[in-house]
Structure 1
Amino acid sequence: MQAQIDSTSLPLYEALASEVRLNIIRYLSEQQLNIKQLAERLDLSSAIVTRHVSKLEEAGLIRTEKTKGKSGIQKISTLVVEDIYISFPKKVQAAYATHVVSVPVGHFTDFNVSPSCGLASTKDFIGPVDQPKYFLSPDRMDAGILWFTKGFVEYKLPNYLEAHQSLQQIDISFEISSEFPFANPHWPSDITFSLNGIELGEWQSPGDFNDERGRLTPDWWPETINQYGLLKTLRITSHGTYIDGDPISEITTKAFMDISDAWSLKFEVKEEANHVGGLTLFGKSFGHFEQDIVVKTYYL
C-alpha cells in the first residue's frame, strides 16, 4: 500500500493510531478471525471490536466477509496489506530556477526488452503481450504503462539549459515497480539508471503490487495484474547521486556540465543482475500518481 503526506491518507493514519487496532492487525497477520474471536483475544466487547474493525476496513487494511458459521452468519476479517510505503514531499533547500520536462512512458526512443513484456493505453493492450516487436508500434506513444523482464528502455529529453546557466541539481521522478506475471510484492529486481550514457546507480525494487487498485488505473485493467508502483526520485547533486535520499553512487552534476541539447535517460534490468525481476513504468493514467517521467533541472 502506498500512502501520502496529505489528506487522502488520513483514514490510514487514523486507523493505525490505536493500540487496539494495531493488535487486531497483529492477530490477523497470523490467521483470519471473526469478531467474537477478536473480542476474546482483546478482552473487549464485540460491539467495540466491530467499531475498530470498521475503521481498519475503511482504511483498506483489512477485508471483512460474511460467511456461514455453526451458529449462523459471522463476519470473518482478513488482513489484505503486507507493506505500507509513505511518500514524503521532496524539497530543494536553495531557491534555484528550474526547467521541467514531463515525458510519457511510451515516448521511448530506443529499447531492447525480453518477455514477459508489454504496453497498454487507457483503452486496451497495445498489441499482444510478450511480443517485443510491439514496442515498435506507433501506438506505443499512447502507452500509459509498460513492463519487461530484462533489457532497457531509453528516452531522449530536451535539455533547456543555456550556456550561461550553471547546473546545480537534477531530479528525475517516476512511478516504478518490478515485473512479475500478475503480481508479487516479494519479487526483488535490481534496476539500473543511466543518464547520457553514465550509470547513476542501481536500486532494488521490492516487488509489484495488487493489494489495492491503482487510484488512476483504468477500469478495464484486470485486478489480478500489477496495479501500482512506488514513486521514486533520483537526485543528482554536487555531492553524489541519491534515490529518495539514499546514496547510490558518487556521480555528481559535474559529469553533466557540458551543455548538450538532449538528455538520454535509460531504465535497465541487466541480464547479469543479482535479481532479474523486471520493471514496470507507470504513466499519469495508471497507478497511484498522476505524473509521467518528470525531469527537473535546477540552475543558477
Structure 2
Amino acid sequence: MEIEVNRRNMHVLECFSSPTRVKMIELLGEQPMNIKSLSEALDIKSPIVTRHIHMLEEAGIVRCENVPGKRGTQKLCYLQLTHATLLFKGKAAKEEKNRYFVSLPVGTYSSYEVKPTCGLASAERMIGMCDDPRYFADPEHVHAKVIWFGSGYVEYRIPNYMVNNERPDSLEISLELCSETPCTVNHLPSDIVFSVNGTEVGTWTYPGDFGGARGIYTPSWWHKNIQHGLMKTIRITRQGSYIDGVKVSDVTIEGLSLAYDKEILFRISCSASAKNCGGVTLFGKGFGNYNQDIEVTLRCL
C-alpha cells in the first residue's frame, strides 16, 4: 500500500499517532484477537477498544469478522495490512507530471441493472420512490449523493486523458461504500465485486456491522439506517490488483486494455447468487464519513 502524505489521507496517518493503536497493530501482528482479548491485553475498556478498531478498519489496516462465540457472536480482528510506503514530496512530485485525476459523483453512472431494495437521494431529498428501479433512469439521478441496491450493478464511464505516447502504470479508485442495509438490520455482509473494462479485478466482503451511527456528513433530514460506509481503495498496478494494499487478484494494468482514445468502464456489482448478497450502498460528497465522490487517479509512464 502506498500512502501519499497529505490531508486527504489523514484517516490513515492518524492511526499511527496513538500508542494504543500501534500496540493493537503489534498484538494483531502476532495473532487474530477479539475485542475482549484486546481489552484485557491493553487494560482498557471494550468500548474504547471498539472505537480504535473502527478507525483502524476504516483505514484498511485491520479487518474484522463476526464469528460464533460462547455467547452469541464475537468480533474477531485481523491485521490486514502487511506493509505500507509513505510517499513524500519528492516521489509524489515526480509522478505528478503523468498523473490524471477525476472525481465522479455517485449519481453519474452510465448504465445500471438493480433489484430492490434500492433508491437514490440528493443532498436535499429522495429522488423518486424507494424500491422502484425505474427511478435509476430519472434524469435527476445525476444529482444523487447516495445510491443503494439489493443486487445488480452500476457502471461508470471514466474519462481517459492519456496521450498516445504514454503507457498506463497504475489505476487507483477510492470510494466510500457498504452493503444495502435495510432500516432494521445492522448486520448484513456483502460480497462486492469491482470490474474494469469488463475484467473482474477483485472482490471485497463488507463485514456488515457498521452504519448505525450517524455519518459525519450525512444530512440531518436523512433517517435511514444507512448512514456511512468504509473507505476502500482499489489499485491496479503492473504487479496485480489490490484493495487497501492487500493483493486480491493477478489482474495487471496491462490486462485492462487501456488506450488513450478509449474511456474506462468501472463497474460495482453484487450478484444475487453471491455467498453474501447484501447489496451495495455508495456514498458521495455530502453523505457518509468522507466528503468525497468516486476519486480516480491514472498514472502513466
TM-score w.r.t. the length of structure 2 is: 0.72
Identity of aligned residues (%): 37
Q: State whether residues 208 and 229 of structure 1, in contact with CA within 8 Å, keep that contact through their aligned partners in structure 2.
A: no
Q: State whether residues 212 and 225 of structure 2, in contact with CA within 8 Å, keep that contact through their aligned partners in structure 1.
A: no
Q: Kindly tell me: are residues 248 and 86 of structure 1, through their superposed partners in 2, closer, same or farther at Cα, counting changes over 3 Å?
A: same
Question: Offset of 1:123 from its aligned partner?
Answer: 0.7
Q: State whether residues 196 and 265 of structure 1, in contact with CA within 8 Å, keep that contact through their aligned partners in structure 2.
A: yes
Is it true that 1:271 corresponds to 2:272 in the alignment? yes
Q: Kindly tell me: are residues 90 and 17 of structure 1, through their superposed partners in 2, closer, same or farther at Cα, counting changes over 3 Å?
A: closer
1:1-300 to structure 2, matched below 5 A, reads 4-5=11-12, 13=18, 61=47, 84=54, 85-87=57-59, 95-96=94-95, 97-182=98-183, 184-207=185-208, 209-222=210-223, 224-255=224-255, 256-300=257-301
Residues 134-186 of structure 1 show CA distances to partners (whole Å, capped at 9, x for unaligned) of 10111111100000010000111110011111211110100010112026453
Q: Which amino acid letter does the alignment assign opposite residue 296 of structure 2?
A: V
Q: State whether residues 194 and 266 of structure 2, in contact with CA within 8 Å, keep that contact through their aligned partners in structure 1.
A: yes
Q: State whether residues 146 and 281 of structure 2, in contact with CA within 8 Å, keep that contact through their aligned partners in structure 1.
A: yes
CA distance in structure 1 between the aligned counterparts of 2:226 and 2:169, rounded to whole angstroms: 36
Q: Kindly tell me: are residues 9 and 241 of structure 1, through their superposed partners in 2, closer, same or farther at Cα, counting changes over 3 Å?
A: closer
Q: Kindly tell me: are residues 199 and 210 of structure 1, through their superposed partners in 2, closer, same or farther at Cα, counting changes over 3 Å?
A: closer
- Secondary structure, aligned partner of 2:141: helix
Q: Kindly tell me: are residues 218 and 208 of structure 1, through their superposed partners in 2, closer, same or farther at Cα, counting changes over 3 Å?
A: farther
Considering only aligned residues, what root-mean-square deviation do their CA atoms show, in Å? 3.2
TM-score w.r.t. the length of structure 1 is: 0.72
CA distance in structure 2 between the aligned counterparts of 1:195 and 1:246, rounded to whole angstroms: 18
Q: Kindly tell me: are residues 250 and 137 of structure 1, through their superposed partners in 2, closer, same or farther at Cα, counting changes over 3 Å?
A: same
Q: Kindly tell me: are residues 175 and 208 of structure 1, through their superposed partners in 2, closer, same or farther at Cα, counting changes over 3 Å?
A: farther
CA distance in structure 1 between the aligned counterparts of 2:195 and 2:13, rounded to whole angstroms: 32
1:48 alignment partner in structure 2:
none
Number of equivalent positions: 246
Q: Which runs of 5+ in 2 are unaligned?
A: 1-9, 24-34, 61-83
CA distance in structure 1 between the aligned counterparts of 2:273 and 2:118, rounded to whole angstroms: 18
Question: Offset of 1:209 from its aligned partner?
Answer: 2.7
Q: State the structure with more CA Rg.
A: 1
CA distance in structure 2 between the aligned counterparts of 1:130 and 1:160, rounded to whole angstroms: 37
- Secondary structure, aligned partner of 1:234: strand
Q: State whether residues 101 and 297 of structure 2, in contact with CA within 8 Å, keep that contact through their aligned partners in structure 1.
A: yes
Q: Which amino acid letter does the alignment assign opposite residue 220 of structure 1?
A: W
Question: Offset of 1:294 from its aligned partner?
Answer: 0.8
CA distance in structure 2 between the aligned counterparts of 1:225 and 1:90, rounded to whole angstroms: 36
- Secondary structure, aligned partner of 2:171: strand
